[in-house]
Chain A
Amino acid sequence: MRLIEWAQFIVGTGLLITGLGIFFIQLLGVFKFKYILNRMHAAAMGDTLGIGISLVGLMILTGFNFTTLKMGLIIVFLWLASPVSSHLIARLEVTTNEHLKEFCELPEDTKEEEEQC
């Protein structure tokens, strides 16, 4: 019984620390990068992977009860909402920026597709 508690503690804390490390990388990326798509990529990584790992760590630490279910629902909600908002930011940037070719490589025929939609 003691062993299981220790394993629970070690795995949970390990996951929590990994998640915090990913948050640190995210912050570094958001402040270090200059271009919006790079920064958005860094922020989206923290919002999905970082928060997912942290919450899984917390779920393991609390054990199996009603709070675990709530945290699982929070993960589902964030994984639905955060990528969609990143997608919208990226799409707005692609449609509004005229000098997109200076920042990233584009296939030749993308421009026409965008004008259609």
Chain B
Amino acid sequence: MSKPISEEEYRKGMANRLKQWILGEEDPLLGNMEIQQQNEYVPNQKMLRRHKKDRDRVVRDVLDTEHNKHYKRFFRFYKIAAVVSCVALILILLVAVSYLPPVGSADKPVNNEVSAKYIEDGMQETGAVNIVTGMILDYRAFDTFGESNVLFIATCTVLIMLRNDRKKGKHSAEAEEKRDSYYEPKADSILQKITFVLFPIIVIYGIYVILNGHLSPGGGFSGGAIIGAGLILYLNAFGFEKIGRFFTEKTHKWISFAALTFYCLAKSYSFYTGAHHLESGIPLGTPGDIISSGLILPLNICVGLVVACTMYSFYALFRKGGY
């Protein structure tokens, strides 16, 4: 049973005070909080004089370089010391160079049995006309495998750092890309027409460089870089939507995974057979043909694919944070 209360009692009650606080009519802190009045600012003459003295000293000793004797002396000494140390370094290097063997002499330490072996037996053993490709993809193929893996790991690291997963809202990849490239010329018709002509040529040239890696200068790394540059050009001209029709994150993942796995398995097989002195059973073909030199051509293709995907995905990640 409720008891009627007087108006004065109601005003002191909790409900009324809450209502007044919400409406902002009454300040609940007024009269309840201790507020100290601040003293007026009086500059301390002694401290000011001390600061000014310090400042004058700094200006005199450090900043005023024109009338500073120590400074002038130091810089005269500095110039002389710079000339002397440069000349000394040049002399030391020249003396060291004069002890080197002359260019092309037969008893150089570079001319040992390793390079002679590569040059003499390289074509017969690997089947590649280009000795460099024969070395990096046959004799030292494990090293090249490590390099491809370094590229793949670098992409993964950049992906972890720059990947933007938000689908909607202010910080989503699309919105960020829009903000970043707000002033960039979009759908430029000149660029699109030229890309229409150049993109197939660039890609075909890249494929030619990869496939001719064992016959002429070139190979997986350079050809892959050319194809990656072509993809970046296409992306700049037509945007992410058009390139998403044939190259997405999934494509990149599968291509990299398949290429690296094939490389690893193929090289493991040839290392295994080589270490046990077995016949590998891979025909070398006639040197000079496109399809020759055993495993080198497929390995070149694998390296080229990984490099092209890495180049493109770096660009896409730095631009948008996704594909």
Chain A positions within 8 Å of B, measured between CB atoms, are: 77, 80-81, 84, 87-88, 91-92, 95-96
CA–CA, A91 to B188, complex, Å? 10
Residue of B183, B184, B191, B201 near A84 (CB, 8 A) is: B191
B197 within 8 A of A: yes
CA–CA, A80 to B201, complex, Å? 12
Distance to closest chain B CB from A97 (angstroms): 10
Cβ–Cβ < 8 Å partners of B63 in chain A: none
CA–CA, A95 to B183, complex, Å? 6
The answer to whether A92 and B183 have CB atoms under 8 Å apart is yes
Cβ–Cβ < 8 Å partners of A77 in chain B: 198, 201
The answer to whether B194 and A84 have CB atoms under 8 Å apart is yes
Residue of B184, B190, B198, B201 near A87 (CB, 8 A) is: B190
User: Per-position contact with A for B185-226: 1 when CB-CB < 8 Å, else 0?
Assistant: 100101100100110010000000000000000000000000
Q: Mind listing 19 A-B residue pairs with CB under 8 Å?
A: A77-B198, A77-B201, A80-B194, A80-B197, A81-B194, A81-B198, A84-B190, A84-B194, A87-B188, A87-B190, A88-B185, A88-B188, A88-B191, A91-B185, A92-B184, A92-B185, A95-B183, A95-B185, A96-B183
Cβ–Cβ < 8 Å partners of B188 in chain A: 87-88, 91
Beyond the given A88-B191, A92-B185, A95-B185, please list 19 additional residue pairs across the A-B interface where CB-CB is below 8 A. A77-B198, A77-B201, A80-B194, A80-B197, A80-B198, A81-B194, A84-B190, A84-B191, A84-B194, A87-B188, A87-B190, A88-B185, A88-B188, A91-B185, A91-B188, A92-B183, A92-B184, A95-B183, A96-B183
Cβ–Cβ < 8 Å partners of A84 in chain B: 190-191, 194
Cβ–Cβ < 8 Å partners of B198 in chain A: 77, 80-81
CA–CA, A84 to B185, complex, Å? 12
Q: Which residue of B lies closest to A73 (CB)?
A: B201
| B contact patch SS | helix
Cβ–Cβ < 8 Å partners of B194 in chain A: 80-81, 84
Distance to closest chain B CB from A53 (angstroms): 22
The 9 A-B pairs at the shortest CB distance, nearest first, are namely A96-B183, A91-B185, A84-B194, A95-B183, A80-B194, A84-B191, A87-B190, A84-B190, A80-B198
Cβ–Cβ < 8 Å partners of A91 in chain B: 185, 188
Cβ–Cβ < 8 Å partners of A88 in chain B: 185, 188, 191
Cβ–Cβ < 8 Å partners of B201 in chain A: 77
Distance to closest chain A CB from B199 (angstroms): 11
Which chain B residues numbered 158 to 200 have a C-beta less than 8 Å away from chain A?
183-185, 188, 190-191, 194, 197-198
CA–CA, A81 to B194, complex, Å? 8
CA–CA, A77 to B188, complex, Å? 19
Q: Which residue of B lies closest to A89 (CB)?
A: B185
Distance to closest chain B CB from A83 (angstroms): 9
Distance to closest chain B CB from A67 (angstroms): 13
Distance to closest chain B CB from A91 (angstroms): 5
Distance to closest chain B CB from A66 (angstroms): 13
CA–CA, A88 to B237, complex, Å? 11
Distance to closest chain B CB from A12 (angstroms): 25
Distance to closest chain A CB from B121 (angstroms): 31
Distance to closest chain A CB from B233 (angstroms): 9
CA–CA, A80 to B193, complex, Å? 10
Distance to closest chain A CB from B250 (angstroms): 30
Cβ–Cβ < 8 Å partners of A95 in chain B: 183, 185
